[in-house]
Amino acid sequence: SRQQQEDLLLHSTTLYVGNLSFFTTEEQIHELFTRAGDVKRIIMGLDKFKKTPCGFCFVELRKFPRSVLIASDPSFYNLNSVVRYYTREDAENAMRYANGTRLDDRVVRTDWDVGFKEGRQYGRG
């Protein structure tokens, strides 16, 4: 129900991270978000528009030099991922201080997430 959903969000330790560059790696996300607290898990997401499974796509694409892909429309390559913390407090710090700052020249947007479930990496909302 709606109430349950709200409660989940209120206690969630998981953030949805949007507007990442397609080239941004798990390592980079970790480096930024670990500054807010102890990161439990990062789940790399999918291309929002193409809905192709990124797990493969991503790894394959990284074989090309960055410059080649930057030449095409960068907004097309828009990656989203999920960052989960151990504690609510750390997740709140990420919402407060990492949200809206840059990673890989993109302004990162974070939002509360009720928690990752299998299959969720195939697009959101």
Among 19, 69, 74, 104, binds another protein (CB under 8 A): 104
- What x-and-dash track marks residues 16-55 binding another protein by CB under 8 A? ---------xxxx-xxx--xx-----x-x-----------
| C-beta of 17 vs 42, nearer to another protein | 42
Q: Strand runs (DSSP E) across the chain, as ranges? A: 14-21, 39-47, 78-85, 102-103, 106-107, 109-113
**Contacts for 64 with CB less than 8 Å, ≥ 6 apart:** none
Given a contact cutoff of 8 angstroms between Cβ atoms, the answer to whether 14 and 115 are in contact is yes
The footprint of another protein (CB under 8 A) covers 25-28, 30-32, 35-36, 42, 44, 59, 66, 93, 96-98, 100-105
